[in-house]
Amino acid sequence: MRRLGVLAVLIAAGVAATPAASPATTNSIDRVVIRAPAPASFPPGVTLALASPTWFVSGPRGPDAGRWLGPRYDSITVPGLSGSSVIDWSIAFDTRSASPEAAALGAPNLGFSEDQRGHIAVPHLVGRAQVGTFPGFYVLRVATNTPENARAEAALAFSLGQGVHVVARFMLLQPPSDDFRVFGGILPTAWNRGQAFIALAGVRVEGSFPPALVSIRAERGTRVVRGSVIDAFRHRVVGARIAFERRSGSSWRRIRSARTDLNGRFAVQASAAGRYRVTATVGATSRASKSVVVR
């Protein structure tokens, strides 16, 4: 997958050329619980976070859609005519598209001309730690060659497995044309296009997914058992509950508990020789490791 590089942002105007994996400084963050129709299911603590561009703040919103309110714009042809910049965002869960590219390209519906498309990496965070990225696809459409030539619409999509694509859509309809100026001098065609890219770059997933693989090894010369936990996306699982278990007859007996660190790793001390394993748990999902012998 071709991954877009670092976003070059014009500091004064907030205008960008291409989206990147990290958002610019933001004023507001709106969160949407990640959910999808059965049989797909996701942990209740996993959310999609949308970071607004600089100069925008959260306005009215519902469970899966909202509005960011931005700076004033003024007419250069009609004295006294002005308005406020607006970004309308919405989240959908697509279970029909075959790929993130298909989901992103199918999301815009305003009939604007395509300006740009490409791959983008969506960060996956647990707390402040970035544990991985989701490969995604974006498209930007703009209303060129129309009287309202500054209007833009953008969409981003990425897969969460189980046949579910998350689709984030952004509409930038105000200011409508270059008959206005933002902050007294910024062309709306550049402003809306730039804010669309920054909005795309501000999408991220927050929270741990269930463990899919638990590795374990006994450290030679000691009774320390180490290992790591990753999810189905091969992202490290931070803060998973670890049950350190010793074989007792035909069953396993819990010896002590721990949690994975910021690298998804754990280390526990066995007090006696024996056969051990660990079971990692996130929410209602648990995954056991293979067993190792401690001497």
**Predicted confidence (pLDDT) at residue 6 exceeds the cutoff of 50:** no
User: Which pLDDT score is estimated for 19?
Assistant: 54
Calpha distance 78→143 (Å, rounded): 22
Percentage of the chain exceeding pLDDT 70: 91
Distance, first Cα to last Cα, the chain: 46
Q: Which of 4-18, 29-43, 73-87 has the highest mean pLDDT?
A: 73-87
User: Which pLDDT score is estimated for 1?
Assistant: 38
User: Which pLDDT score is estimated for 37?
Assistant: 76
Query: Tokens 């902050």 map to which residue?
Result: 183
Task: Give 184's pLDDT tier (boundaries 50, 70, 90).
Answer: confident
**Predicted confidence (pLDDT) at residue 20 exceeds the cutoff of 80:** no
**Mean pLDDT across the chain:** 89
User: Which pLDDT score is estimated for 5?
Assistant: 32
Calpha distance 206→48 (Å, rounded): 6
For 52-66, how does the pLDDT look when each residue is reduced to its tens digit (9 = 90+)? 999 999 999 999 999
For 186-198, how does the pLDDT look when each residue is reduced to its tens digit (9 = 90+)? 999 999 999 999 9
User: Which pLDDT score is estimated for 26?
Assistant: 55
User: Which pLDDT score is estimated for 148?
Assistant: 94
Percentage of the chain exceeding pLDDT 90: 76
Kindly give, in sequence order, each residue whose CB lies less than 8 Å from that of residue 62, ignoring residues fewer than 6 positions away. none
User: What is the arithmetic mean of pLDDT over 30-38?
Assistant: 86
**Predicted confidence (pLDDT) at residue 3 exceeds the cutoff of 70:** no
**Predicted confidence (pLDDT) at residue 78 exceeds the cutoff of 90:** yes
Residue 294, Cβ neighbours under 10 Å: how many? 18
**Predicted confidence (pLDDT) at residue 254 exceeds the cutoff of 50:** yes
Calpha distance 133→142 (Å, rounded): 28
Of 31, 3, 37, 230, nearest to 121 (Cα)? 3
User: What is the arithmetic mean of pLDDT over 8-22?
Assistant: 43
Burial label for 18, CB within 10 Å (0-12, 13-18, 19+), is middle
Q: Provide the residue ranges of all domains of the chain, joining segments of one domain with +.
A: 9-206, 213-294
User: Which pLDDT score is estimated for 228?
Assistant: 96
User: What is the arithmetic mean of pLDDT over 1-16?
Assistant: 38
For 90-100, how does the pLDDT look when each residue is reduced to its tens digit (9 = 90+)? 999 999 999 99
Helices and strands (H, E) in the chain, number of each type: 2, 21
Would you put residue 283 in left (φ > 0), alpha (ψ -120 to 50) or beta? left
User: What is the arithmetic mean of pLDDT over 13-18?
Assistant: 46
| CATH architecture observed for domain 213-294 | Sandwich (2.60)
**Predicted confidence (pLDDT) at residue 16 exceeds the cutoff of 90:** no
Q: At 100, which amino acid appears?
A: P
Calpha distance 194→287 (Å, rounded): 44
| Residues 293 and 218 sit within 8 Å (Cβ to Cβ) | yes
**Predicted confidence (pLDDT) at residue 147 exceeds the cutoff of 70:** yes
Structure tokens at 154: 């953008």
